[in-house]
Amino acid sequence: MREVRERCVWSQQITHRDLVPYLIEESHEVIDAVESGTRADLREELGDLLWQVLFHAAIAAQDPDDPFDIDDVAQTLTEKMVRRHPHVFAGEVATTPDEVLVHWNAAKAAEKRTRRSVLDGIPRGMPALALAQKVVGRAAGVHVDTPPAGAAGVPTSEHELGDALLALVAVARAEGWDAERALRERLRTLEQDIRQAESDA
């Protein structure tokens, strides 16, 4: 990565902001590989995603005011993971996944003391369904209700459609389902049906 940054004229001009579309694309390609690809696809796509991390770190290392490199990124990550796993590194006990989450959330809350809202820290650039699922979870934590599924009947406006979608996301969260993944997987089936119809025509 250092050699590419130093010797590739295209790479020399790239900024963090320029890389965002590539980071999004590579993240989605990893998701595709996990959900419907081969082991070779996953290995390749994880490498492409890692390249994005290395690229960002190489850009950051050249910042004149606040430089950091990939070693600093790894050190920060290591410190965070040690703090968030006291049941592994600090003698705490967690015998169930729920107990692990208690430790994780307590450590995270201690790290984020400056946050004033349960919504702070949720990335606004998430896909809408994934964002809704995150926000519905936070809403439940402060006892804010979301529309019940089926309450509005068939939507007759975009506003009502939004309510209906939010209600379905709340159902997904309550059942432990991933609304984004569910829709993606259903779309894959639809795509297969479309391709089949095209080949039959």
Alpha-carbon 63 to chain mean position:
26
What is d(CA 189, CA 161) in angstroms, rounded to the nearest whole number?
23
What is d(CA 144, CA 96) in angstroms, rounded to the nearest whole number?
28
pLDDT tens digit sequence for 103-126: 888 888 888 788 778 888 888 888
93: left (phi > 0), else alpha (psi -120 to 50), else beta?
beta
Secondary structure percentages of the chain, helix, strand, coil, to 5: 70, 0, 30
Q: How confident is the model at residue 110, as a pLDDT? A: 86
Q: What is the DSSP letter of 125?
A: T
Output 154 or 169, whichever has higher pLDDT: 169
Output 139 or 69, whichever has higher pLDDT: 69
Give CA separation, 165 vs 73, 132, 186, in Å: 38, 9, 16
pLDDT tens digit sequence for 155-188: 889 988 888 888 899 889 889 999 888 888 888 8
Residue 119 structure tokens: 């919504």
- 46 pLDDT band (50/70/90 cuts)? very high
Q: How confident is the model at residue 54, as a pLDDT? A: 97
Residue 103 structure tokens: 């430790």
Please give the share of the chain, as a percent, with pLDDT higher than 70: 98
What is d(CA 173, CA 147) in angstroms, rounded to the nearest whole number?
13
Please give the share of the chain, as a percent, with pLDDT higher than 90: 49
What is d(CA 171, CA 166) in angstroms, rounded to the nearest whole number?
9
pLDDT tens digit sequence for 15-33: 999 999 899 999 999 999 9
- 150 pLDDT band (50/70/90 cuts)? low
- 139 pLDDT band (50/70/90 cuts)? confident
Q: Are 35 and 181 in contact (CB under 8 A)?
A: yes
